[in-house]
Structure 1
Amino acid sequence: MKIAIIIPAHNEEQFIHLTLDSLVQQSLAVTQIVVVDDNSTDRTFEIASSYSTSLPIKVVQTLSSAENVPGSKVIHAFNYGLAQIDLAGFDIICKYDADLIFPSDYLEQVVDHFDARPLGEQESDRIGMVAGHCSILKEGQWEIENQNNPDHIRGALKAYRRECFEQIGGLQASIGWDTIDEMLARFYGWQVITIPELYVKHLKPTGAAYNSRSKYLQGEAFYKMRYGKLLTLITALKMAWSKKQFQLIPDYLKGYQLAQKKNLAPLVTEEQGRFIRKYRWKGIKSKLGL
Structure 2
Amino acid sequence: MRFLIIIPAHNEESNIRFTLHSLQHQSNKEIKVVIVNDGSTDQTPEIIQQFTKQDSRFETINLEKSAHQPGSKVISAFKKGLATQKLEEFDIICKFDADVIFPSDYLETIANAFSNNPKYGLVGGLLYIENNGEWIYEGNSNKHHVRGPVKAYRKEGFIQMGGLRETLGWDNIDSILLENLGWKEVVLPELQVKLIKIKGADYTIRPAEYYGKYFYFLGLSRSLTYIASAKEAVKSKSISFFLHIIRSYENCRQEKLQLKITRDEQKVINSQRWKMLRNKWLKI
Q: TM > 0.5 between the two?
A: yes
1:160 Cα deviation from its structure 2 partner: 0.8
Query: 2:165, 2:261 within 8 Å by CA — same for their partners in 1?
Result: no
1:217 Cα deviation from its structure 2 partner: 4.3
Correspondence for 1:122: none
Query: What's the RMSD between the two structures over aligned residues?
Result: 2.1
Q: 1:258 to 1:22 in 2, by over 3 A?
A: same
CA-to-aligned-CA distance 1:52-110 (integer Å, 9 cap, x gap)? 22461001100132x42101111111111111211121111100000000011111111
CA-to-aligned-CA distance 1:190-232 (integer Å, 9 cap, x gap)? 1111112321001111101111378634422322333112321
Correspondence for 2:64: 63
Amino acid at match of 2:183: W
Q: Does 1:232 align with 2:232?
A: no
Distance 1:47 1:221 in 2: 34
Distance 2:207 2:39 in 1: 20
**So what's the TM-score if we normalise by structure 2?**
0.91
Q: Does 1:150 align with 2:143?
A: yes
In the TM superposition, what are the counterparts of 1:99-118 in structure 2 within 5 Å? 99-118=99-118
Distance 1:241 1:33 in 2: 42
Q: 1:132 to 1:239 in 2, by over 3 A?
A: farther
Q: 1:127 to 1:26 in 2, by over 3 A?
A: same
Distance 1:145 1:137 in 2: 9
Question: How many residues align structurally?
Answer: 281
1:245 Cα deviation from its structure 2 partner: 8.7
Correspondence for 1:286: 279
Distance 2:92 2:216 in 1: 30
Distance 1:68 1:141 in 2: 31
Correspondence for 1:128: 121
**Alignment gaps of 5+ in structure 2:** none
**Alignment gaps of 5+ in structure 1:** 119-125
Q: 1:83 to 1:260 in 2, by over 3 A?
A: same
**So what's the TM-score if we normalise by structure 1?**
0.89
Query: 1:92, 1:160 within 8 Å by CA — same for their partners in 2?
Result: yes
Correspondence for 2:96: 96
Q: 1:287 to 1:215 in 2, by over 3 A?
A: closer
Query: 1:64, 1:73 within 8 Å by CA — same for their partners in 2?
Result: no
In the TM superposition, what are the counterparts of 1:27-106 in structure 2 within 5 Å? 27-52=27-52, 53-54=54-55, 56-65=57-66, 67-106=67-106
1:36 Cα deviation from its structure 2 partner: 0.7
Correspondence for 1:184: 177
Query: 1:187, 1:272 within 8 Å by CA — same for their partners in 2?
Result: no
In the TM superposition, what are the counterparts of 1:16-35 in structure 2 within 5 Å? 16-35=16-35
Distance 2:185 2:40 in 1: 33
Q: 1:80 to 1:151 in 2, by over 3 A?
A: same
Q: Helix, strand or coil: the match of 1:68?
A: coil
Q: 1:263 to 1:63 in 2, by over 3 A?
A: same
Q: Helix, strand or coil: the match of 2:29?
A: coil
Distance 1:172 1:162 in 2: 16
Q: Which moved more, 1:204-213 or 1:101-110?
A: 204-213
Distance 2:81 2:21 in 1: 20
Query: 1:69, 1:214 within 8 Å by CA — same for their partners in 2?
Result: no
Candidates 152, 156, 177, aligned match of 1:159: 152
Distance 2:30 2:209 in 1: 38
Q: Helix, strand or coil: the match of 2:51?
A: coil
Distance 1:241 1:21 in 2: 42
Q: Which moved more, 1:269-278 or 1:23-32?
A: 269-278
